[in-house]
Amino acid sequence: MRIWESIFGRPTGTGTPGFVPERLPQHVAIIMDGNGRWAKRRGLPRSAGHRSGFDRVEDVLRTALDCGIKYLTLYAFSTENWQRSAEEVNFLMNLFSEAMTRYTDRLRERGVALQFIGRRDRLPANLLARMEELDRTRLDNPALTMTLAIDYGSREEILSAVRVLARRAKQGTLEPDSLSEGDLRAALYTHDLPDPDLIIRPSGEYRLSNFLLWQGAYAELWFSPILWPDFGREQLLEALRAYANRERRFGRA
């Protein structure tokens, strides 16, 4: 029995919708926020908060797999995060590389495909080499695709896509008047992903912070006061409950 049945129950047939697979989001995206504040409240260095935050990924991923979610996208490092101290940035880059080395085989055994979105020209060589190695070992028909957004910013992504389309128009391979949403979508980092159904923001903040602005146009949003290092199975299930009880109209009456 999948975890959603044990927690939400089977459809009752009494007029209430019950919790059924069709009510689950296909794609969940999470802004992993609050690591620094979590550490500060405990008198710990910010690095301790980041490490604890990465430890939470395992719990959230396991829950997503149990629930049959197909896509999980995690906002790990934004284009604005380069403004942090060199010490913190270097720690994060080393943490990303360490986590990929430690967990890649385990993810593959569980049918999880790992991929990345964001700029790559500013990443350290050792991290970039690890990411490119993983890109060459994609799984066929994965149980879940986990996407890490590293050096990602949605405005930068859209601008990059516009530049691609502008070059095509200049070369004469694209007629500007025929430009469609599909053309722009195909030029985004996320061209091989469905749009997110649910975007989750922990830490008590109520903003998207330059995350999936185009793709999240009709995503359901769910906010939590829980800081990311304390966010786990129960919080994700709470978000899924909320999502399952919403009616998505996509602009329809």
**CA 45 to centroid of chain Cα atoms:** 25
pLDDT above 70 (res 16): no
The band of 247, judged by pLDDT with boundaries at 50, 70 and 90, is confident
Phi, psi (5° rounding) for residue 128? -60, -40
Strand partners, 145: 71, 113
Which amino acid appears at position 139 of this protein? Answer: L
pLDDT value for 17 = 43
Domains of the chain (ranges; CATH) run 25-154+195-244 (3.40.1180.10)
- 166-202: b or e for each residue (b if 16 or more CB lie within 10 Å)? eebeeeeebeeeeeeeeebeebbbbeebebbbbbbbb
pLDDT above 80 (res 10): no
Question: What's the average model confidence in pLDDT over 150-171?
Answer: 97
**CA-atom Rg of the chain in angstroms:** 19
pLDDT value for 23 = 82
pLDDT above 70 (res 253): no
Residues 205 and 223: beta-carbon distance below 8 Å: yes
pLDDT 10s digits, 26-46: 999 999 999 999 999 999 999
Question: What's the average model confidence in pLDDT over 173-197?
Answer: 96
pLDDT value for 137 = 74
pLDDT above 60 (res 13): no
pLDDT value for 18 = 46
Residues 114 and 106: beta-carbon distance below 8 Å: no
Question: What's the average model confidence in pLDDT over 212-216?
Answer: 98
Question: What's the average model confidence in pLDDT over 216-231?
Answer: 97
- 101-110: b or e for each residue (b if 16 or more CB lie within 10 Å)? eebbeebeee
Closest CA to 20 of 249, 228, 243: 243
pLDDT above 70 (res 15): no
Q: 65 in helix, strand or coil?
A: helix
Which amino acid appears at position 176 of this protein? Answer: P
- The DSSP secondary-structure symbol of 21 reads G
Question: What's the average model confidence in pLDDT over 171-196?
Answer: 96
Average pLDDT over the chain reads 91
Q: 148 in helix, strand or coil?
A: strand
pLDDT 10s digits, 224-242: 999 999 999 999 999 999 9
Tokens 């195909």 belong to residue: 186
Closest CA to 234 of 20, 63, 72: 63
The share of the chain scoring above pLDDT 90, in percent, equals: 81
pLDDT above 60 (res 14): no
pLDDT value for 140 = 85
The band of 9, judged by pLDDT with boundaries at 50, 70 and 90, is low
Catalytic residues: 33, 81
The Cβ of residue 245 has, within 10 Å, a number of other Cβ atoms equal to: 11
The Cβ of residue 18 has, within 10 Å, a number of other Cβ atoms equal to: 15
